[in-house]
Structure 1
C-alpha cells in the first residue's frame, strides 16, 4: 500500500501579502472546512477500479459497494482504519481534524472499495499524481493529492504584490509549499497581483517569482537571509486565542502571563466578565506555557488539565496552537 501515493495541502494565516492556486479549480476527494478535512467519495465519479493484489484495472457499470476506506500516506496506507460513512446511495464521507495531519505540505491518498479495489480518478482530475511502486511510476494508476496549504477566496492569508502589470505570470513559492515553482499562481488585479490562502498558524518564508525572476516581498519588512545571499520574506500566521478564568469574582486584578510575552507581570490585564475573567490574544502556532496572576498570586489554569514542567522546574498550563 505504501508504494501507491497521494498528496494534500492545508493553510491558515492572518497577514496581508500575495495569492495562490487557480481558485476556480476544485480538488477532488476532499475539502477543508474550518479545522477539519472532509473526505468525500462519490461512486458516480469513478468508472475504473484496480484490483489491489493483481493490479488488474476493471470497469464497473454496476458495482456493489459494501464499504469505502480512505487510505493514504497520512495513515500508512491502512485499508481499514479510516472507514467512511455512507451519506446516500452513491456518496461516502469521513471528517478528520487537521490536527491528525503533520506539517507535511502534501499527501497522496486513495479510496479503497470493499477492502480490495482502488478507485481510479480520471486524468482530468486537477489534483492527481501517478502512483509509484519501487521507484517506478505505474502505468494508468493515479493517486489523489491533498494539500495542507491551499488557495481560498476567503483564506486567512492574503499575499499581494503591487505593480508588475506587464508580467505574464507571477508565482508564490515558500516553505509552505516546498518552494514549488508552479503550484501557486497569483491572480492579476487592478493594482498588481494577489493570492489568498488557507494556512495553519506558523512562521513561514516565501518569495515571488515574476516571469522566472525570484524576489522578496518589497512591502514586507520582515525577512531573513537565505543560502544564496539574498532574502526571503517572513510571515507569522497567528490565531486569536481566548484565555478564560472562571470565578475569582472578588479579585481586584487578574493578569495573563506566559511564554508568549516573556512572563510579563503587568502587560496583559484580563477583563472581568459575568463568569470570571477573559483575555484574547493572537498566538503563533506551537506550544505556549501560561499562568494567571490573581491579585499577585500565580496560579495554573484550573479549567485546563494540560500542564507540564518548564526548564526551571515550575508547573505551567499549556495551550497548543495548530
Structure 2
C-alpha cells in the first residue's frame, strides 16, 4: 500500500530513508566528494522555465516513442542502479515488474543483486543491459552472450567510471550486507595482484591497468549485433568519438554525480552535444529528473528519452513493484499535463519553443 501523501517523486525520499537505514542510504543517495554535481543536476532543471500556451488546441497527447526498433509507451526509462536488493528483497525483479506494468524500459546493471536471467523472466519487461567492461575481455564477452540469450535488446556501456571516490560512503563505513552481491559477476576471474613497489598509488595503477578504452568499444561492436549505447558522455568531442567507434546511441550522463564532482549538470551538457550529434543517433539523458516538466525540458533540448535513477529506487524501497509503477505513473501524468499546457500533442512537437527565452 502506497501512503496517500505520496503524490510526487520527491515524497518517496524521506520515507525511503527511514526504511533503508544509513548504510544503504549512503550508497544510494550519495555522490562524489562534496556532491556539488549531484545537487546541480536537479538545480539546473529548476532554472529552466517553460512557455505556457493560452487556450492550447490539444485534445489528447501521445507519449509513445520508438528507440532502436522498440516501441515504448513513454520516453521515461529506468537507469541502471546496482545492488537493488539493498533496499528491497526482490530487488531488480520487483523493479522490472513495476516497469512492465507501466510500459517502461529498464536498464539492468551488471552489478544487479539478481541474476540477469531472473530479471528477464518478468513478464512484459523491456530490458537493456548495462555493461562494465571487465579486465578479462573473454568474461565480458560471456556476459554479452548471456544478455543476448536472455532477450535483452540493447547494451549500455558505462564509460565514465574507471575509478570513483565517495566521501559519504566512507564516512558511513559502507559495506554490502550479507546476502547482497553482484550475482552476475560470480565466477569472474580474479584481477591480477597490484604491483608491490611500496608506492601508495599501486592500487590505483592496478585498477587503471584493466580499464576500458576506445578499442574495447570497437571490439564490442564486432562481437554483438545489439544496439550499443555509450553512457557517461558529457562533451561534444566524446560524442563524436562515440559515433566514430560505432555507438548506436549516447546517454548524456555524469553518473548521477557519483564519479567526478563539479562536472556540469547533464541538462547543461545536453544541448551542446545535441548540436554536434545533429540527430545522427538517439540521445538519452539522466541525472536530476524529478518532474514531468523536467522530461519536457530534456526533450526540448535534444533528448529522445530520459532515464531516472534514485527516484525509482526510493519508490522500490517504500512499495516494491507497486512503488516503482506508481513513481512512473506520477512522472508520466506530469509529462502529459505539461505537454497539454505547452501546446504539444506529441513528443515530436516538443522543441525549444516550449522554453522561456525571456
TM-score (norm 1): 0.24
| Structure with larger Rg | 1
Q: Higher RCO, 1 or 2 (CA under 8 Å, sep at least 6)?
A: 2
**TM-score for the superposition, normalised by structure 2:** 0.22
The structure where strand makes up a greater share of residues is: 1
Q: Select the structure that is richer in helix.
A: 2
